[in-house]
Amino acid sequence: MEVRRTTVRDMRRSNRSVILTGIYREGPLSRQELTVRTSLSAASVSNLVAELIAEGVVEEAGSVESEGGRPRVLLRVAPTFRYVVGAEVGETRVRVELFDLAMNVLARADHPIATPTPEEVVKHVLEGLSTVIAASGTQSEQVLGLGVAVAGVVEDNAIVDAQTLGWEAVPLAALLAEGTDIPVHVDNGANMLGQAEMWFGAGRGATDAVVALVGSGVGSALVAGGSSYRGARSSAGEWGHMTIMYGGRQCRCGALGCLEAYVGAEGVLDRYRLAGGTVDSDEETAFVELLESESELATTIVNDTIGYLAAGFANLVNLVNPERIVLGGWAGLLLGEKHLEELRTEVGKHALRRPYAQVSIVLCELGRDAVALGAATLPVVRLLRDGGAVPPPR
Amino acid sequence: MEVRRTTVRDMRRSNRSVILTGIYREGPLSRQELTVRTSLSAASVSNLVAELIAEGVVEEAGSVESEGGRPRVLLRVAPTFRYVVGAEVGETRVRVELFDLAMNVLARADHPIATPTPEEVVKHVLEGLSTVIAASGTQSEQVLGLGVAVAGVVEDNAIVDAQTLGWEAVPLAALLAEGTDIPVHVDNGANMLGQAEMWFGAGRGATDAVVALVGSGVGSALVAGGSSYRGARSSAGEWGHMTIMYGGRQCRCGALGCLEAYVGAEGVLDRYRLAGGTVDSDEETAFVELLESESELATTIVNDTIGYLAAGFANLVNLVNPERIVLGGWAGLLLGEKHLEELRTEVGKHALRRPYAQVSIVLCELGRDAVALGAATLPVVRLLRDGGAVPPPR
DNA sequence: CTCCCTTCTTCCAACTCGTGAACTAAGCCG
DNA sequence: CGGCTTAGTTCACGAGTTGGAAGAAGGGAG
């Protein structure tokens, strides 16, 4: 009995949420359009909008002529109503960015980091937070929340396992909360990048999609029915460790034949090397060189990679039946820019006809710096869910 | 802007639905327990329950002593309030069953079928419907709905594609509706079996699960967040055609290396045959013999099968992070009864540690005849969703 | 057998919300 | 400037939930 919708007050909150979400997600809208889309009465829309305007969440933004009558007044979420901060915790740096509600970057703070211990990271995130708040000239009370993206498994705002950082069971949100009054949200980096693409990039408009990220490793973010799917215990989306070659290459996760071992940049270059290719010491340089090389060996390796990746995509298509697959990650983008058409064709060879015909395969639009942007949407999601109700100051 | 929750009337409907669903799914409950679980006030629960009792949907069912005070009156959905019918359309027969709301079978009609043309099937389903209604002594008006399970892709109650039956674009629900006034629902057979297991079998209590079906072919039903996940266009769950051996055995779907080609009974026996084993002409007999044989070859084949199946399971574990995987299908059950422990161990070798630790792998409890039962839940789902409101007679 | 205690259930006044219909606002056209 | 069209607002009303108080139903003690 999970669903509990009760009092008449909840209804109002819910309606506020629907209206606010509509205004935020579907661009400036007039009250009139809102009544149509929400199937609320004009009276209620007016009423709720008036409330939202009075609270400063929504503002009027010019008008648009209608068909002969009174012009519609467009509404938008006031970009400067509150601000949100997103942080990306990487292996080598911490990046913190402050956005207004229209998701314009107002300030940024990067900090290189040598050994990413939890203490170091907490310190630099908090420093970055102060820095961006100061640099943007906003007040701390005006910051709605801080979203933090980490490359690891996150359950209930606490990090459970982050191998690349060497962390285990680190209550990151709690640690950060000790140093700030701003509400903290922590989530997985791949999910956050996916979230950014879904809201502002190639995923716009889709409700059932997968954002597939191919870098040195391979991951993905699943979106089902319009919201991120986390599975039973928030670790869904581990697409990289799907077996596509039973008994095949050893993956760093220990298993054999994982997709990552074949299409992750590391795996690709390793295959190239084993086949006799020479590989630059820098992974990205090497990968670019491989893609640009016209040698027969390089071509074979690249083609094989496309084939393996296509099988991985086909598995997604068959199992999840998404309407869109968004390919990203630095290696994924490099690969996709040159070979997207072949990739699509290859997916068709592995996937069932019907779901294949229903999926579109596209590239990420936001580049790889969108992680902090995605993280910054976490507080926004909450704002929208709560219908613009701002948590009381502590 | 999909979510639209509006008027105060919807709220009542929704609350009725919550209460009714609670009573139905969590056994007999007292009003008092309902107030706790629904977080509605005692007044509202009483109010709504009174309404439900007056309409005959719910009835009191004895009482239970509380701690010293007035005993609680237990409530249950009146089993005979309405009846539901489930039909299973197979390649060789049509089975129709009538249940009361407690899902006791009250009547059954089987009909062998030679060439499953849509006309034949429609005719026999409708005949079966009349038969079970007559046999159970109920009135046609008392039948809430007819759920039909078909082995094929179903979109919006219409069959899009059913290869095993040789159907394409058959508007089955519409065809059936021409012959009866009872509301008709059509859905995929694997999903229906999954639904039955989730409600009454090994899936009880789980909210994120996969029901994996291994028979001659291989399929699955995905359950996410408590309800069946259909994907963008209702064909999610095609687990059998996931590539687990890139470039491997040819599958009947045309692709290479599908799971089904390795663990579907047909694929298993084919592998056995190719390796020199002798195989009975009847598939099931042959499969049982293979499992019982102690020859080295047979053992190898079975062990390999477990390995492949484990890889398929591991892919599910990694990608969707379910809390439970329920293995069923005739071949799956035969395999599972003997080798479940090995299967679990093997899954551990292919899956990531964390999600593997969070999943439990169990066998179906309902046997393979539960398809009609699952189909019959379709009208029940609707009844619960609508809070016990019965569609007006036509 | 009666009274009291505990717990479950119902009744009632108060409050909140969305709706429809009438009404106002605002632009356009002739 | 008046009529027309479309957009947004006001208000009385019906519908629903709630908290608190009263009622109902047993069990136990004397």
| Digitized pLDDT (tens) for each residue of chain B, 394 residues in all | 445 567 778 888 888 998 999 999 987 888 888 888 888 888 889 889 998 998 899 988 877 766 666 788 889 999 999 999 999 998 889 999 999 999 999 999 999 998 889 999 999 999 999 999 999 999 999 999 999 999 988 998 887 788 888 888 899 999 999 999 999 999 999 999 999 999 999 999 999 999 999 999 999 999 999 999 999 999 999 999 999 999 999 999 999 999 999 999 999 999 999 999 999 999 999 999 999 999 999 999 999 999 999 999 999 999 999 999 999 999 999 999 999 999 999 999 999 999 999 999 999 999 878 999 999 999 999 999 988 887 765 5
When scoring B167, B233, B243, B263 by the number of chain A Cβ atoms within 10 A, the one with the most, hence best to mutate, is B243
Q: How far apart are CA A297 and CA A276, in angstroms?
A: 8
A119-127: long-range contacts, CB 8 A cutoff, minimum separation 24: A121/A89, A121/A94, A121/A165, A121/A172, A122/A172, A122/A175, A122/A176, A122/A179, A124/A94, A125/A87, A125/A89, A125/A94, A125/A96, A125/A176, A126/A176, A126/A179, A126/A180
The sign of the torsion formed by the CA atoms of A240, A241, A243, A247 equals positive
CA of B73 to C1' of C1 (A): 27
Are A1 and B37 a contacting pair at CB < 8 A? Answer: yes
Question: Domains, chain A, ranges and CATH?
Answer: 8-77 (1.10.10.10), 83-194+371-385 (3.30.420.40), 203-365 (3.30.420.40)
Q: Given a cut of 90, is residue A178 above it in pLDDT?
A: yes
CA of B14 to C1' of C25 (A): 38
- Give the per-residue pLDDT at A1: 43
CA of B82 to C1' of D15 (A): 29
Q: Please, where are the H alpha helices in B201-295?
A: 259-263, 265-274, 283-292
Find, among B238, B195, B191, B206, the residue nearest to B359 by Cα. B206
The nucleotide closest to B50 (CA, C1' atoms): C10
Footprint of strand C on the protein (CB under 7 A): A 8-9, 11-12, 15, 40-44, 47-48, 63, 65, 68-71; B 6-8, 30-32, 42-43, 46, 49-50, 66-73
Cα distances (angstroms) measured from residue B319 to each of A70, A242, B42, B244: 52, 7, 42, 14
Distance between terminal CA atoms of chain B? Answer: 33
**Closest residue on chain A to B358 (Cα):** A233
Strand-pair category, A93-100 with A83-89: antiparallel
pTM for this predicted structure: 0.93
CA of A91 to C1' of D23 (A): 68
- Give the per-residue pLDDT at A392: 67
User: A93, exposed or middle or buried, with CB in 10 Å at 0-12, 13-18, 19+?
Assistant: middle
User: B292, exposed or middle or buried, with CB in 10 Å at 0-12, 13-18, 19+?
Assistant: exposed
Find, among B223, B233, B86, B239, the residue nearest to B160 by Cα. B233
- Give the per-residue pLDDT at B71: 81
Residue A79 contacts residue A142 (beta carbons within 8 Å): no
Strand-pair category, B143-150 with B83-89: parallel
- Give the per-residue pLDDT at A2: 42
Positions on chain D within 7 A of a protein C-beta:
4-11, 14-21, 23-28
Q: Given a cut of 60, is residue A78 above it in pLDDT?
A: yes
Q: How far apart are CA A162 and CA A152, in angstroms?
A: 4
State the DSSP code for B229: -
Write the single-letter amino acid at A143.
V
The DSSP code sequence of B211-232 is: EEEESSSEEEEEEETTEE--TT
Average pLDDT over residues A178-195: 95
Query: Apex CA A128: angle with CA A122 and CA A129, to 5°?
Result: 90
Q: How many CA atoms lie within 13 A of B177 on its CB side?
A: 11
CA of B9 to C1' of C22 (A): 24
Residues, chain A, total? 394
Residue A184 contacts residue A223 (beta carbons within 8 Å): no
Tokens of B281: 């002409």
Are A233 and B22 a contacting pair at CB < 8 A? Answer: no
Footprint of strand D on the protein (CB under 7 A): A 6-8, 30-32, 42-43, 46-47, 49-50, 66-73; B 8-9, 11-12, 15, 40-44, 47-48, 63, 65, 68-71
Q: How far apart are CA A237 and CA B316, in angstroms?
A: 10
CA of A63 to C1' of D7 (A): 11
Number of H helices, E strands in chain B: 13, 16
Write the single-letter amino acid at B272.
Y
- Smallest Cβ–Cβ distance between A244 and the set B246, B323, B355 belongs to B246
Chain A neighbors of B207, CB-CB under 8 A: 2, 232
Chain A neighbors of B322, CB-CB under 8 A: 231-232
Residue B158 contacts residue B174 (beta carbons within 8 Å): yes
Number of H helices, E strands in chain A: 13, 16
Are A321 and B233 a contacting pair at CB < 8 A? Answer: yes
Core vs surface per residue B358-394: b (16+ CB within 10 A) or e = bbebbbbebeeebbbbbbbbbbbbbbbeebbeeeeee
Q: How far apart are CA B66 and CA B86, in angstroms?
A: 39
Residue B180 contacts residue B227 (beta carbons within 8 Å): no
Tokens of A84: 């949100």
Q: How far apart are CA A329 and CA A313, in angstroms?
A: 15
- Give the per-residue pLDDT at B4: 58
pLDDT tens for each residue of A214-247: 999 999 999 999 999 999 999 999 999 999 999 9
CA distance B234 to chain A (A): 7
Residues, chain B, total? 394
Strand-pair category, B58-64 with B72-77: antiparallel
Closest CA to the C1' of C15: that residue is A8
Chain A neighbors of B6, CB-CB under 8 A: 11, 15, 38-40, 44
Q: How far apart are CA A157 and CA A391, in angstroms?
A: 18
- Non-local (6+) Cβ contacts of A115 within 8 A are none
**Closest residue on chain B to A231 (Cα):** B321
Chain A neighbors of B160, CB-CB under 8 A: 354
Beta partners for residue A153, in sequence order: A161
Cα distances (angstroms) measured from residue B161 to each of B158, B172, B290: 9, 11, 33
State the DSSP code for B172: H
Dihedral of CA atoms B338, B341, B344, B345 in degrees, nearest 10, equals -120
Q: Given a cut of 70, is residue A3 above it in pLDDT?
A: no
Strand-pair category, A143-150 with A153-155: unpaired
Q: How far apart are CA B58 and CA B76, in angstroms?
A: 6
Beta partners for residue B169, in sequence order: none
Chain B neighbors of A153, CB-CB under 8 A: 354
Are A255 and B8 a contacting pair at CB < 8 A? Answer: no
* Phi then psi dihedrals of residue B118, to 5 deg: -55, -40
Q: How far apart are CA B9 and CA A289, in angstroms?
A: 64
Are B5 and A11 a contacting pair at CB < 8 A? Answer: yes
Chain A neighbors of B23, CB-CB under 8 A: none
A5: confidence class by pLDDT, cuts 50, 70, 90:
low
When scoring A320, A324, A325, A356 by the number of chain B Cβ atoms within 10 A, the one with the most, hence best to mutate, is A320
Positions on chain C within 7 A of a protein C-beta:
5-12, 15-22, 25-29
Closest CA to the C1' of C27: that residue is A70
**Closest residue on chain B to A206 (Cα):** B232
Write the single-letter amino acid at B156.
D
Find, among B216, B184, B221, the residue nearest to B90 by Cα. B216
CA of A67 to C1' of D1 (A): 22
Residue given tokens 């009544």 in the structure block: A35
A&B contacts, CB < 8 Å = 206
- Give the per-residue pLDDT at B2: 43
Cα distances (angstroms) measured from residue B88 to each of A80, A270, B82, B105: 58, 51, 20, 14
Tokens of A216: 């040195």
- Give the per-residue pLDDT at A114: 86
Tokens of B26: 């969590």
Distance between terminal CA atoms of chain A? Answer: 32
Residue A191 contacts residue A229 (beta carbons within 8 Å): no
- Smallest Cβ–Cβ distance between A15 and the set B6, B25, B222 belongs to B6
Residue given tokens 């929400």 in the structure block: A38
